[in-house]
Structure 1
Amino acid sequence: MRSIIAQRTGFGRRYFKAFVSGFFVAVPVTVTVLDRLAYVARVEGASMQPSLNPDGGSSPDVVLLNRWSVRNYQVHRGDIVSVLSPKDPQQKIIKRVIGIEGDFIKTLGYKNRYVRVPDGHLWIEGDHHGHSFDSNTFGPIKLLLL
């Protein structure tokens, strides 16, 4: 009887040690991946409907955003990006890249009907044009805001 209890206690200690050592390896690796390669974001609101958050209900979509491409400014038309809101720098907004530097854009209500996207900037829009705070409101955004 004693040998069974001793074996179980030894097993428990080995399991605990393995868990703790795995935890102390997994946490820094996860933090590094989320900081350098990708991160998870919630999509709330109607601005990207129907592509993201199609029902707009109680369960927002969750997306994995690629930080590596953005870090190297490898952004293309059609990509979905997260940027700091020009209205509230504490908030991030998720939009689709419509134009990259040098493109001419036919706007949807911006102060000029046609805009040339300046160097180092992007033109972003939500997929649901009637419900989106995007470049049609604030103009081209700097790549540095990605």
Structure 2
Amino acid sequence: MNPELDFEKRWRLVREVIETLVLTGLMFFIIRFAIQNFYVEGMSMEPNLHDKELILVDKWSYLFHAPARGDVIVFVAPPNPSQDYVKRIIGIPGDVITIQGTTVIVDGVTLHETYVDPRRQGNPYPSFSNRVVPPDSYFVLGDNRAGSSDSRDWGFVPRKNIIGRAALVYWPLGEDNNGFLPDVSSVFAEVHQRQSASQLPPAVLTRPSASSHPLPLQPDQLLLSLLLFPMPLLRPGQRRGGWRQTNHWRWRGDQGAARQRDFGARRPALDDGDAVELWPDAG
């Protein structure tokens, strides 16, 4: 055998292995900083997120646009920074929030919240009126209104606390909510429009809103799909449902005693969404 030909084949093989490792590592770091896995525990987001489900959180899209009303977000809990909560954004900076019983009003517009199950409707907290969301803060509620500790309880979520947007439910299979979380922006379509309607030209007032003809896949969902499907994120393993878990962050629910120490407020024992972060050292 020609020694030069044999050396060339060996070098080509080594080069391909190195290129494959570099590409795999690059994709790993891109995906690792773009999305994050969480394991849901608790009932505070029923019926849209179930107990014991695995979800993917999109950390990428908020680098390009601000969180929006209706987004389901994962964030560091203001009452206890060692915990992470999952809730839905109801008010963004500058919004004026009023809650009377189970009625939620944003900037004078009463919300018809299609994502809230009437059987889980409720409000264990005092009603309030005209509470303004501060700059760089968000007002959030759990979909299970009768059993969630949220902004009605402990106040607003600072922007810096937001980890990302809950984008996809992927495990266990066969659940009624598998796939991308639905777009509920239509619930908030009238917010702010009443205040500025007299200033808009007639052509704008009669034009259908973009939310009335949504795309099958939103741009950030398309980006998430492109990140997901070129290479598998999880491999078969020994743990939960055939998927390997490498690290745990738990949302432990509402620890009333800890919150009483920090805030001096009494609250009912409510169930909150809990999660386990499946990738190590992902901040």
The answer, yes or no, to whether TM exceeds 0.5 is: yes
Whether 2:78 is the aligned partner of 1:61: answer no
Aligned amino acid, residue 133 of structure 1: S
Aligned partner of 1:34 among 15, 32, 35: 32
Q: Structure 1 length as normaliser, TM-score?
A: 0.73
Q: Secondary structure at the match of 2:29?
A: helix
Q: Secondary structure at the match of 2:46?
A: coil
Whether 2:79 is the aligned partner of 1:87: answer yes
* Closer/same/farther in 2, CA of residues 109 and 72 from structure 1, 3 Å limit: farther
Q: Write the mapping of 1:1-80 to structure 2, written as runs, cut at 5 A.
A: 22-23=20-21, 25-35=23-33, 37-53=34-50, 56=51, 60-80=52-72
Query: What are the superposed Cα offsets for residues 59-103 of structure 1, whole Å, 9 maximum, x if unpaired?
Result: x12222221222345211000111101222122111100110111
Q: Secondary structure at the match of 1:46?
A: coil
**Identical aligned pairs, as a percentage?**
26
Which residue in 1 is equivalent to 2:172?
Answer: none
Unaligned runs of 5+ in 1: 1-13
Whether 2:155 is the aligned partner of 1:139: answer yes
Q: Structure 2 length as normaliser, TM-score?
A: 0.40
Aligned amino acid, residue 138 of structure 2: L
Aligned amino acid, residue 128 of structure 2: R
Unaligned runs of 5+ in 2: 1-12, 100-122, 163-283
Quick one: higher RCO (CA 8 Å, sep 6+), 1 or 2?
A: 2
Q: After TM superposition, give the deviation of residue 131 of structure 1 in Å.
A: 1.6
C-alpha separation in 1, matches of 2:20 and 2:152: 48
Q: After TM superposition, give the deviation of residue 47 of structure 1 in Å.
A: 0.6
Which residue in 1 is equivalent to 2:96?
Answer: 104
More strand by share: 1
Preserved CA contact (<8 Å) 1:39 1:66: yes
Aligned amino acid, residue 144 of structure 1: K
Whether 2:126 is the aligned partner of 1:128: answer no
Aligned amino acid, residue 113 of structure 1: F
Q: Secondary structure at the match of 1:106?
A: strand
Q: Secondary structure at the match of 1:25?
A: helix
How many residue pairs match? The answer is 127
Preserved CA contact (<8 Å) 1:109 1:137: no
Preserved CA contact (<8 Å) 2:124 2:146: no
* Closer/same/farther in 2, CA of residues 45 and 83 from structure 1, 3 Å limit: same
Aligned amino acid, residue 89 of structure 1: P
